[in-house]
Chains A and B, each alone.
Chain A
Amino acid sequence: MAASNSSDAFVEFERVQKSYDGETLVVKDLNLNIPKGEFLTMLGPSGSGKTTCLMMLAGFETATHGDIRLDGKSINNIPPHKRGIGMVFQNYALFPHMTIAENLAFPLEVRKIDKSDREAKVKRALEMVEMGDFGGRRPSQLSGGQQQRVALARALVFEPELVLMDEPLGALDKQLREKMQFEITDLAHNLGITTVYVTHDQTEALTMSDRVAVFDDGRIQQIAPPDQLYEEPENSFVAQFIGENNTMMGTIKEIKSGVALVELDGGEMIDAKPVNVSEVGARTRVSIRPERVEVDKSRLKPGAHTLKAEVLEFIYMGDIFRTRLRVAGNDEFIVKTRNAPDQRRMQPGEQIEIGWLPEDCRALEA
């Protein structure tokens, strides 16, 4: 998140703020650098400011304060049609009164590209998204997925260096969405274009992106590659927003060689990795992924702290087992175990002991 050297940044947000009503800030002091060719996803709950950022980049909203630069040039005062940024909208925004080919030709026409060139480019773009035969149809005659591809082709046909996508897969069913996720990333990487992708679907963000920027409350909470984001959340919001997490409140008792000893509110002691807490005696929220919880005591390191747990519910989910436990007074403690031959199925009412590696349990700010 720190201002890295801005020379290789293609898109830069510098101290950008945005307010609609002059009273509250929707985007608070945003700094962001996107290198050329990166697929960056802006992820966050609704109202977190991610779409506003995208609209400022596209030119439909003006920044109240700060500077947005594209390829080193400030674009604050450039109208949207001169920015040359491709954009895919949530509802596709295909012009209903034009055929697919006319839709694709539109950006070329307004750029005064002559007819033969135009036709060649439209054809190529349609073939790129495997829609070559659909040029003569109207948008209303296409399925959602097909419209999505056409919208993508239209955003790419004039060969922009930057493409913005505003929840483009929101209206598709799950299967189609997964297929399109793959196609979009594939296309973006093959063409080498820089992509800024907005979504509130964390799976989508994790599977597609080079980097994910998690937005909340008008700020970027963490920006990191997907694996890092998932495994090493930097604060409680990210930990809870990305994936599933078990959290427990406690107090830091001792920090020794990168491992913190935390006393939970129920009096139990556990080991955790301190992330953004450093003082002994500070309140902390410890967070552990359900799949990192070890239920087989024999696999734990000797001397590791364990907690007593009671099995409340066992859910068979095919590839995994999902077990709900009562741990340290928390009834919603989830454990996920792989459906493997040697994996035991726990019965409700059973008393077990659980533990984890200290580095999997992150002590975050309360």
Chain B
Amino acid sequence: MSDTASKAPVLAADGTPLKRSLNRALRVQKMRALALIAPLLLFVMLSFIMPIGDMLFRSVENQIVENTLPNATQELAKWDGSSEDLPPEPVFRALYHDMFLAAELKRHTRLGSRLNYESTGMSSLFRQSGRKLDDAGKDYRKLFLVVDEAWGDGATWQSVMGGAEGATPDAALVKAQKSQIYRLDGEAPRGQLDFAPSQDVSALLPLTAREYTAFAIVTSLIKKDDLAATKPFESLFVALADDLSTADLSGYDGPGADNLRALQASGLPTPNYTEIFGEMDKDWVNIETWRTIQIHAEPYTSGYFLNAVDMQKTPTGVEMQPEDRQVLITLFVRTMIMSLTIMFSCILLGYPIAWLLANLPMRQANVLMILVLLPFWTSLLVRTSAWKVMLQQQGVINDVLVWIGLVADDNRLILINNETGTIIAMTHILLPFMILPMYSVMQTINPTYLRAAKSLGATNWTAFWRVYFPQSIPGIGAGSILVFILSIGYYITPEIVGGTKGVFISNRIAYHISSSLNWGLAAALGTILLVAVLILYWAYDKIVGIDNVKLG
């Protein structure tokens, strides 16, 4: 405030502050300019900024564990992962019912794949357990049917859970289960649910009420079946047996009260969830499995980034991956070194061409320019495949070398499926990106500078090195940035000619995107690559100055 007062604003002729009148005068122009760039802006937002944002988010996002096993993760959080004891019974209890619901919606295998990135074997553990979850429920179902055949009927369950006529429905429970299923399934269950557990029942049989509500939502809103005519989940028998082992039914007089009392009196065994899981797969009673789940249960994780630099999270903290799984740092370093090599090769090969282009008479320069641009008119795949033909051991280059006698026939050079192949092919493909910026800068260097240097006594070399070369550096800089940034993220060429030794980090990213489906890791790798490029750009700006870069 004080400095606006000390500097009196300049006023326009009508007394308004000059700045404001200027803004008003320019507003129409600004709006028009904005309208002109709006389509591109929108396009860039949709196709560039938002995907990058999504990628950044995916590299830390890890809600899948919490979404799939909401109750189990809550219980598991209470467990001390560094202890030598298995998690307590409530964890297994929550896991059983979470897993059952997830398996019904076929979501448990996704979680298995996710955890498999951290510990191999998780995927099959989840897949197989999903199938075996029914077994325990079926055992209880038999016991129920012995007491009363009616328990096999969906209608019985509905009337029991719905409570007496006029009972207060437990709307909160329905809402909570709906949102859980939404988070699990990724899609909101739509439509009106014509069932709600009564508050009495949900107080008396909390687990059963919860699971039955979930069953009702899945059946009538997702599968669109008639709730009364559908066989109830096997897990409901387990849940009810569980509830009945502690419930006090003495004061209860709702529908099916007698039935429930009969069940309670029949001496149902209380479900031992730890045992159930132990029978399904002994990995469930392996403490390491639980440690893995606990460590990776947080909704946002640094795990993907740690994986991206060959590290991992363990109960004792962050440590390096086992030696045989360390590939990514090597790949990053290789990508950097090879990109630099490609960049320098491009400078060495491109500089003379650019010089010629800038100094030849118009007609010859045009022909040369067409030759430089020719690669742009050919498909990238065709060019790369051509290199495959050229470089292979029985290929053109080796044949010529053998024919000349430079290379022995039984000792042909290995030029492809390794770093050499990638460097040769990518140097060729990226060369125009080096030549064009160099050319555009060199074109602006007046030849009289060289003449002046020579007239002042400089030899051809001195004149070039002291006078011409320094002025061409902005072109080299622009070309180098362009080539380096393009090559650091190059994918197709290394994929085709790189074999195993000549692939880049981008090939690994593609592998995780399309084959291993570990998008989180792919996103983390991509983010690291992006940050690396930005850091290099920043460093370049500090050292050379981005103002010195001329792209045309």
Please report A residues at the B interface, Cβ cutoff 8 Å: 58-60, 79-87, 89-91, 93, 95-97, 106-107, 110-111, 154-155, 158, 164
Contacts and interface: CB of A to CB of B under 8 A. Distances in A.
Interface string B245-278: 0000000000000000000000000000000000
B469 to A, nearest CB: 10
A95 B450 CA distance: 9
B470 A85 contact: no
Contacts, number: 66
B451 A89 contact: yes
| Residue in B451, B457, B463, B467 whose Cβ sees the most chain A Cβ within 10 Å | B457
Given A110-B456, A110-B462, A154-B456, A95 B451 contact: no
B457 A110 contact: yes
B454 A81 contact: yes
A155 B463 CA distance: 16
Contacts of B454: 59-60, 79-81
Interface residues of B, number: 19
B466 A85 contact: no
B467 to A, nearest CB: 6
B448 interface: yes
Contacts of A87: 451-452, 455-456
A93 B452 contact: yes
A93 B451 contact: yes
A91 B451 contact: no
Contacts of B128: none
Interface in B133-149: none
A110 B458 contact: yes
B470 A106 contact: no
Given A81-B455, A95-B449, 20 more contacts: A58-B451, A80-B451, A81-B456, A81-B457, A81-B458, A81-B459, A82-B457, A86-B455, A87-B451, A87-B452, A87-B455, A89-B448, A89-B452, A90-B448, A93-B446, A107-B456, A107-B457, A110-B456, A155-B455, A158-B457
Q: Taking each of B451, B452, B460, which has the highest tally of chain A beta carbons within 10 Å of its own beta carbon? A: B452
25 contacts: A79-B454, A81-B455, A81-B458, A81-B460, A84-B457, A87-B455, A89-B448, A89-B451, A91-B446, A93-B448, A93-B451, A95-B449, A95-B467, A95-B471, A97-B470, A106-B453, A107-B456, A107-B457, A110-B456, A110-B457, A110-B462, A111-B457, A155-B455, A155-B456, A164-B455
Contacts of A93: 446, 448-449, 451-452
Nearest to B449: A93
A116 B467 CA distance: 23
B458 A106 contact: yes
B424 to A, nearest CB: 34
Contact of A97 (B446, B459, B471): B471
Nearest to B458: A110
Nearest to A80: B454
A225 to B, nearest CB: 28
Interface in B13-70: none
A85 B458 contact: no
B176 to A, nearest CB: 71
B471 A96 contact: yes
Contacts of A111: 457
Name which of A58, A59, A106, A158 has the most chain B CB atoms within 10 A of its CB: A106
Contacts of B470: 97
B545 to A, nearest CB: 13
Contacts of B448: 89-91, 93
A106 to B, nearest CB: 6
A81 to B, nearest CB: 5
A237 to B, nearest CB: 30
Contacts of A90: 448
Contacts of A164: 455
**Lowest 6 A-B CB distances belong to which pairs?**
A93-B452, A107-B456, A87-B455, A80-B454, A93-B448, A97-B470
